[in-house]
Amino acid sequence: MRELAKKRLSANFKQSTKYLALVFNDFFVLALIFIFGAVMFWYAKIMKVLPAGKWYYPLILAGILWIASLPGKLVTLFQEADRQFLFTQDDAVKDYLDEMRGYSRLLPAILIGITAAILYPFASLKVGLNGSNYLFLVLALYWGKMAEQQVVSQEFTFDHRVKRASWLARGLTLAMLLAALYLIPQIAGIVILIPVAASFFLKKRGEKRQGQVFDWQYAIDYETERKDLVYTAFSLFTDVREKRVNIRRRKYLDFLLPSLKKETANSFLFRRSLLRNPEYLNLLARMTAFIVLISLMIADWTWTVPIAFLILYLTVWQLLPLAENYDRNIMYRVYPIDQAKKGQDLSRVLSWALFLQAIVVAAVWLIALPKEKILSVGLLLLWTLLLAKVYLPYKTKEVEKRARYGKKSGRRK
């Protein structure tokens, strides 16, 4: 089983590397550097004016560190076929999961390490933690994450308690951080003994429970759900063919869907897909929420406006594959749908979505920005108009060419 685990981890690492290479292209890296630089500029500016020693600072510190530890579920890589071919090897599953836990610790270590490094000035200058206490507190958080993965690996039984055990471990980790920062701030690092003792206890507990029956279907469902979360993250920036899409009607959005009599067939289908396909709807919602969050954090129009421009452009760029949503549907090919103006229909629908996003952002800016509200909103609407009337018609001409001459797809790679 250990050899099987190593082979699957190697294949999973190659697949993850492939998608990371697609995501971290030159443009995305530049956009990420720009956004990170803006946030760090705001952070440095805020650190100069924040008073030290406020009672709620430990709560903020513990909350951000805890949120950084949430990603990184236990990777099992179980497949549907394992239920038939490995069901006789329940006793060897422990060795398999031991290998998987080692791999699963990489992502939490990276996220917790980066977050802890960024928050160190706040923890030392504003909260009042010394370097050694802060280091041991971060190590305790990471060890708590390892304990969470360990307890999850022991709960793939017919009791179906993985989610309950996972959130119990996360709740105890948050309580540990808050207790250390509020009750024993001078020796906060001593809490590292708690997750270390918990790991030792869980190891002994696992040895006692080794004879319990392993629920293969439950473990496979857990892995399927975990993969969907990972694919959803990658699908924000590139196409992921392995991602399952659950398209369903959302009645509360039906008012945004005009009748077919008022639209062409293509524009109706594009709008319907945008409102009902979670791949596109969630993308639009997340990007809008991201602009709003950045605006509330920075609250400086000289940084907020350029970041909003960049995110609006990224939103449109990622929604362009909507053009090919029905290309593999045989009924779409059979029905007499005019393909000559497919690009124009797509441009109209994406412009509509873009203006909806801009209206939401403009409303937040009028409320939240401390100054230059009218100028910021005006620039935002002007940029939205340029994207809708210049960029989108230019990009959607390729859609019309493919529809008219049958050229190969230009789907982003």
Is pLDDT above 50 for 196? yes
The reported pTM is: 0.72
182, 270: one domain: no
3-state secondary structure of 77: coil
Pick the residue with more confidence: 221 or 402?
221
Question: Quick check: 19 pLDDT over 50?
Answer: yes
**Whether 224 and 328 share a structural domain:** no
- The verdict on 337 and 309 lying in the same domain is yes
Is 337 in the same domain as 400? yes
Asked whether residue 369 is assigned to any structural domain, the reply reads: yes
In total, how many domains does the chain have? 2
Q: Is residue 242 part of a domain?
A: no
Q: Is 309 helix (H, G, I), strand (E, B) or coil?
A: helix
pLDDT of 410 over the 50 cut: no
Q: In 3-state terms, what secondary structure has residue 207?
A: helix
Render the burial of 5-44: b for 16+ CB within 10 Å, e for the rest. Answer: beebbeebeeeeeebeebbeeeeeeebeeebeebbeebee
Q: Could you tell me the CA-to-CA distances from 369 to 144, 300, 317, 349, 372 in Å, in that order?
A: 39, 7, 27, 29, 7
Using the predicted structure, report yes or no on whether residue 109 has a pLDDT greater than 90: yes
105, 139 in Cβ contact below 8 A? no
Distant-in-sequence contacts of 317-320, Cβ < 8 A, 24+ apart: 318/236, 318/237, 318/283, 318/287, 319/274, 319/280, 319/283, 319/284, 319/350, 319/353, 320/346, 320/350, 320/395, 320/396, 320/412
pLDDT at 403 over 60: no
Tell me: do 306 and 208 sit in the same domain.
no
Q: Are 365 and 373 in contact (CB under 8 A)?
A: yes
Winning range, highest mean pLDDT, from 3-17, 170-184, 392-406:
170-184
pLDDT of residue 404: 54
pLDDT by residue (tens digit) across 67-78?
999 998 899 998
Out of 60-64, 157-161, 244-248, 350-354, least confident range: 244-248
Domain boundary among 203, 235, 267: 235
Kindly give, in sequence order, each residue whose CB lies less than 8 Å from that of residue 284, ignoring residues fewer than 6 positions away: 274, 315, 319, 353, 356, 357
Place of tokens 């050694």: 132
Is the pLDDT score of 66 beyond 90?
yes
Q: Which contiguous run of DSSP H or E holds residue 230?
A: helix 216-235
Q: State whether 218 and 270 are in the same domain.
A: no
Host domain of residue 110: 2-235
184 and 264 part of one domain: no
Is 74 within a domain? Answer: yes
For residue 138, being part of any structural domain is answered with yes
Task: Please state, in angstroms and rounded to a whole number, the distance separating the CA atoms of residues 26 and 326.
Answer: 30
Residue 241 falls within a domain, yes or no? no
Question: Which whole number is the average pLDDT over 152-162?
Answer: 86
- Structure tokens that stand for 339 in this block: 């393909």
DSSP-based three-state secondary structure for 31: helix
**What CA–CA distance (Å, rounded) separates 239 from 221?**
23
Mean pLDDT of 371-380: 87
Higher pLDDT, 268 or 123: 123
Provide, rounded to the nearest whole percent, the portion of the chain with pLDDT above 90.
14
Per-residue pLDDT at 409: 43
Residues with Cβ within 8 Å of 226's Cβ and at least 6 positions away in sequence, in order, are: 73, 74, 75, 76
Examine the domain organization and report whether 183 and 259 are in the same domain.
no
What confidence category does residue 117 fall into, taking pLDDT thresholds of 50, 70 and 90? very high
pLDDT exceeds cutoff 90 at 236: no
Q: Are residues 353 and 324 in the same domain?
A: yes
**Segment holding 351, helix H or strand E:** helix 342-368
Give yes or no: residues 197 and 255 share one domain: no
Which of the listed residues 173, 200, 235 is the one where a domain comes to its end?
Answer: 235
pLDDT on residue 413: 37
d(CA 62, CA 175): 9
Is 64 domain-assigned? yes
Supply the mean pLDDT for the chain. Answer: 81
pLDDT higher than threshold 80 for residue 177: yes
Q: Are residues 82 and 8 in the same domain?
A: yes
Of 184, 201, 235, the residue that ends a domain is 235
Calculate mean pLDDT across residues 17-45: 74
* Region 17-39 average pLDDT: 72
Residues 172, 274 within the same domain? no
Band of pLDDT at residue 412, cut at 50, 70 and 90: very low
Is 245 a member of any domain? no
> What average pLDDT does range 40-58 have in this prediction?
85
Question: If pLDDT is split at 50, 70 and 90, which confidence band does 274 have?
Answer: confident
Asked if residue 244 belongs to a domain, the reply is no
Confidence class for position 296, pLDDT limits 50, 70, 90: confident
Check residue 261 and give its pLDDT: 66
